[in-house]
Structure 1
Amino acid sequence: MNENKNKDTGSIFPIGDKASPEYFAGAAWVKTLVANDDTLTTIISNVVFEPGARNHWHTHPAGQILICTEGTGYYQEKGKPIQKLYVGDVVRIPPGVEHWHGASPTSRFTHIAINVNTEKGVVNWLKAVTDEEYNKK
């Protein structure tokens, strides 16, 4: 059992499993809330990022919805400025848009990630977000 599985996050959901360093920089955890199936073709996950943690650049073939539930986060689409995210923000990411998301440097950040129409694919991972990209204001 992962020792961080039940780490207290103040969330209604358990923290989940440590996110793979192959796709994330810094400490992050993912708890699948709704597993993919052939009927709903949707994956819903709770994702917790420690301060400064973020995922790599990536795309979703059918798009993604993020619902921000704790802390302050960052979201960036390729070629656009970083957007700050706060509790209650909802981000609609169109299919195929290259982007990344994660915590701000000083705050833990949690969001619910909704991946829809998974029969089209779930995620295409790309390169890591550099410190220069992350720290660009």
Structure 2
Amino acid sequence: MKTISKKVLFVASVTLFVMFSMVCAGQEPTAKSDGIFPEGRLAPAKFFTGNAWVTGLVANDSVFTTAAGSVFFEAGARSNWHLHPSGQILIVTSGVGYHQIKGQPIEIIRKGDVVKCPPDVLHWHGASKDSSMSHIYILPNTEKGMVEWKGPVTDEEYANID
């Protein structure tokens, strides 16, 4: 029984931390929730085109040096170009989306796919034109940094499906 209580306390603490962080950043919550995790809070428009919601799942700390969360993208929504100093792992949990490494063709990703974004490699990801998409992101070795945001993916780049 004590183990369950500690787990509940841990989940509640992480949830409160994420909620507090988002409120401080001025982001508003949403009531939508169809998947495994709640959709969370609307992602900042300066880093995303279209509507995407982010839910923190594992808060970064000095013990595990890993952060994880879930992102839900409406059809047509996508991240800006960005990179991660230690790379990123994406696990697609629903829908159909796109992932692209700069200079390479757009990759179609579907529920069940796992994508590894190499360290310091410019990339973007988001939903396809006709389907929403959600994924879990995992950022390892966060002591090296978490994310470096770049400019938006243009409509022309987004539509460049081979």
Q: Shorter-chain TM-score: which interval?
A: over 0.9
Structure 1 residue runs of 4+, over 6 Å off?
Answer: none
TM-score computed with the length of structure 2 as normaliser: 0.81
The residue aligned with 1:88 is 112
Distance change (3 Å), C-alpha of 1:33 and 1:3: closer
* d(CA) in 1 for partners of 2:111, 2:92: 5
Identity %: 53
- Say whether residues 1:115 and 2:134 are aligned partners: no
Shift of 1:3: 4.7
- Say whether residues 1:44 and 2:44 are aligned partners: no
Structure 1 vs Structure 2 CA RMSD: 1.0
* d(CA) in 1 for partners of 2:29, 2:135: 21
Shift of 1:7: 1.0
- Say whether residues 1:105 and 2:111 are aligned partners: no
Structure 2 unaligned runs (5+)? 1-22
The residue aligned with 1:60 is 84
TM-score computed with the length of structure 1 as normaliser: 0.96
Query: Deviations for 1:6-48, whole angstroms, at most 9, x for unmatched residues?
Result: 3122x12111110000100000000000000000011101000
Q: Which has the larger radius of gyration?
A: 2
The residue aligned with 1:30 is 54
More helix by share: 2
SS of the residue 2:75 aligns to: coil
Q: Which has the higher contact order (CA 8 A, sep 6+)?
A: 1
* d(CA) in 1 for partners of 2:157, 2:36: 32
The residue aligned with 1:78 is 102
* d(CA) in 2 for partners of 1:3, 1:121: 26
SS of the residue 1:72 aligns to: strand
Task: Give the count of matched residue pairs.
Answer: 135
SS of the residue 1:111 aligns to: strand
More strand by share: 1
* d(CA) in 2 for partners of 1:21, 1:65: 23
